[in-house]
């Protein structure tokens, strides 16, 4: 009881802090301390573990404890086209090598099978003349729905991971001798559109030279522009062996473009990116973690005059930025209010709203500030290489008839990895992520 008296004097001194912005954390610790001291006396209550969650007043851990350092995968895909109907499917197995802060390395083997069905329409037109420019326009629009699913296994050696990969590629239903640590089901949709516009400047009769106009205009335009937009939207559910469930809402897109002008080299380029929000609930259905992830691949195939430019950006590099926020009793109300319906695990268009967030800076949105103050933030760049071959054919008898088989091997290795440290002067400074290179 003497210790209790001393504690009361201390409380008078720091009482104002309990009502400050971090008051709930101190209050929880104070409540546990009072319980611990009083339980020492005869007839004390005991059982103080329920007096405040330690995670509610522990300082945030900004250093990630694991890192994916290498990936490899194989995928086979079959596509069939009949008239405007496209159908297909794919089967793949991916290996990820993960290094942990405790010095151990594990390997995740993920299998997925996908089926899809879509419809497509095309538009086109062309006009030409002797004294006026000629032009052509064509375009396509395709819509496709897809379903995929498969298990993930965890093993301790690369050799065992490769054995499982080879076995599953030969027989997707093989017994690999391991129980899966998770099962994933994904529903999605894809859209694809393209536009090709060309303009040729014809020459009058009697003019010499040039490759267009006159009596023999060609189909090759003097000036041409083309572009394509491909997008996808997916929602997946992953059930883990510990009873927890992970829900992922993602959007992906790819933009391609090119141009041709007289007496100049042709140019083309592309940008591709994916953004997603991941929600994790424990076995009791309580929200325990929210993750924001953005992946981008830029400048990977910018070409001028048919030659690829090394200075066009990070060639074949994928950069993934991940912000992981632990949900506790202290911040749960704010997170659930931001989600809208806390019982709904589908995030709709919210991933698109967050893809331009910079979690290393404070902002006006309360969740951005929460990421800035509490989240683990990492940025990992991998060099990805892909080899593929395809066999296919297409016959046109007024309708589009064809089939195509594609086999792809991919490999990725880490190039750079950083994490955002504790806030300093309005920023989260970047530090080397040592766990990736130990």
Q: If you count them, how many residues does the chain have?
A: 438
Residue the block writes with tokens 């194989």: 74
Q: Report the alpha-carbon distance of residue 352 to residue 216 in Å, rounded.
A: 50
Q: What are phi and psi of 375, to 5 degrees?
A: -80, 155
Residue 401's pLDDT is: 66
CB 257 within 8 A of CB 227: yes
Q: Report the alpha-carbon distance of residue 419 to residue 429 in Å, rounded.
A: 8
Residue 235's pLDDT is: 93
Q: What is the mean pLDDT of residues 362-383?
A: 92
SS3 label, residue 48: coil
**Cα dist from 56 to 23, 24, 37, 341, 386, whole Å:** 11, 8, 21, 23, 45
Render pLDDT for 1-36 as a digit per residue (tens, 0 to 9). Answer: 555 555 554 555 445 444 433 444 444 454 555 555
Contacts of 56 (CB under 8 A, 6+ apart): 24, 25, 28, 328, 329, 330
pLDDT category of residue 163 using cuts at 50, 70 and 90: very high
The mean pLDDT of the chain is 75
CB 318 within 8 A of CB 271: no
Q: Which two tokens stand for residue 377?
A: 């933030």
In the predicted model, is pLDDT for residue 276 greater than 90?
yes
In the predicted model, is pLDDT for residue 204 greater than 50?
no
pLDDT category of residue 260 using cuts at 50, 70 and 90: low
Q: Report the alpha-carbon distance of residue 273 to residue 279 in Å, rounded.
A: 20
Render pLDDT for 205-232 as a digit per residue (tens, 0 to 9). Answer: 444 444 433 344 445 456 666 666 677 8
Residue 89's pLDDT is: 80
Between 133 and 149, the higher pLDDT residue = 149
Residue 317's pLDDT is: 78
Q: Which two tokens stand for residue 411?
A: 């490999």
Q: What is the mean pLDDT of residues 394-415?
A: 74
CB contact burial 307-340 (16+ within 10 A = b; e otherwise): eeeeeebbbebbbbbbbbbbbbebbeeebeeebe
Angle, helices 332-339/366-374, rounded to nearest 10 degrees: 140
Residue 331's pLDDT is: 92
CB 212 within 8 A of CB 180: no
In the predicted model, is pLDDT for residue 129 greater than 50?
no
Span of 291-300, 303-312, 348-357, 399-408 with lowest mean pLDDT: 303-312
Residue 374's pLDDT is: 94
Q: Is the pTM of this model over 0.85?
A: no
What pairing do the DSSP bridges indicate for beta strands 182-200 and 105-127?
Answer: unpaired
Residue 53's pLDDT is: 46
Q: Which two tokens stand for residue 218?
A: 């060609």
pLDDT category of residue 313 using cuts at 50, 70 and 90: very low
In the predicted model, is pLDDT for residue 300 greater than 90?
no
In the predicted model, is pLDDT for residue 162 greater than 70?
yes
Between 75 and 44, the higher pLDDT residue = 75
Residue 200's pLDDT is: 60
Residue 207's pLDDT is: 42
**Cβ atoms within 10 A of the Cβ of 74, count?**
17
**Cα dist from 273 to 12, 212, 279, 372, whole Å:** 55, 39, 20, 23
Residue 409's pLDDT is: 87
């Amino acid at each position: 009881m003497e210790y209790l008296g001393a504690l009361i004097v201390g409380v008078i001194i720091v009482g104002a802090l309990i009502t400050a912005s971090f008051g709930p954390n101190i209050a929880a610790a104070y409540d546990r301390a009072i319980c611990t001291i009083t339980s020492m006396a005869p007839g004390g209550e005991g059982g103080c573990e329920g007096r405040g969650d330690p995670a509610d007043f522990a300082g945030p851990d900004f250093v990630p404890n694991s890192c994916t350092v290498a990936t490899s995968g194989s995928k086979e895909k079959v596509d069939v086209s009949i008239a405007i109907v496209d159908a297909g499917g794919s089967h793949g197995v991916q290996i990820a090598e993960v290094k942990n802060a405790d010095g151990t390395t594990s390997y995740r083997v993920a299998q997925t099978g996908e089926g899809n069905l879509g419809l497509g329409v095309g538009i086109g037109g062309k006009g030409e003349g002797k004294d006026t420019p000629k032009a052509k326009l064509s375009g396509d629009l395709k819509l496709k729905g897809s379903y995929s699913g498969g298990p993930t296994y965890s093993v301790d050696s690369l050799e065992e991971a490769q054995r499982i990969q080879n076995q599953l590629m030969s027989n997707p239903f093989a017994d690999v001798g391991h129980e899966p640590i998770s099962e994933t089901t994904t529903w999605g949709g894809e859209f694809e559109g393209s536009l090709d516009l060309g303009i040729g400047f014809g020459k009058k009769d009697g003019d010499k030279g040039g490759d267009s106009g006159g009596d023999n205009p060609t189909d090759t335009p003097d000036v041409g522009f083309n572009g394509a937009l491909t997008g996808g939207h997916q929602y997946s559910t992953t059930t883990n062996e510990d009873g927890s469930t992970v829900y992922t809402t993602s959007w992906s897109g790819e933009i391609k473009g090119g141009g041709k002008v007289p007496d100049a080299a042709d140019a083309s380029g592309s940008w591709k990116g994916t953004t997603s929000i991941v929600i994790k609930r424990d076995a009791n259905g309580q929200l325990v973690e929210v993750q924001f992830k953005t992946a981008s691949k830029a400048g990977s195939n910018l070409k001028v005059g048919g030659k690829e430019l090394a200075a066009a950006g990070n060639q074949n590099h994928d950069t993934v930025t991940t912000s992981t926020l632990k949900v506790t009793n202290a911040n749960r109300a704010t997170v659930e209010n931001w989600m809208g319906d806390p019982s709904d695990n589908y995030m709709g268009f919210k991933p698109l709203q967050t893809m331009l967030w910079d979690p290393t800076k404070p902002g006006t949105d309360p969740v951005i500030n929460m990421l800035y103050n509490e989240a683990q933030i990492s940025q990992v760049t991998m060099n990805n290489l892909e080899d593929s071959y395809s066999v296919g054919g297409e016959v046109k008898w007024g309708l589009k008839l064809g089939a195509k088989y594609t086999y792809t091997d991919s490999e990725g290795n880490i190039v750079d990895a950083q994490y955002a440290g504790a806030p300093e002067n309005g920023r989260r400074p970047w530090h080397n992520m040592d766990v990736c290179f130990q």
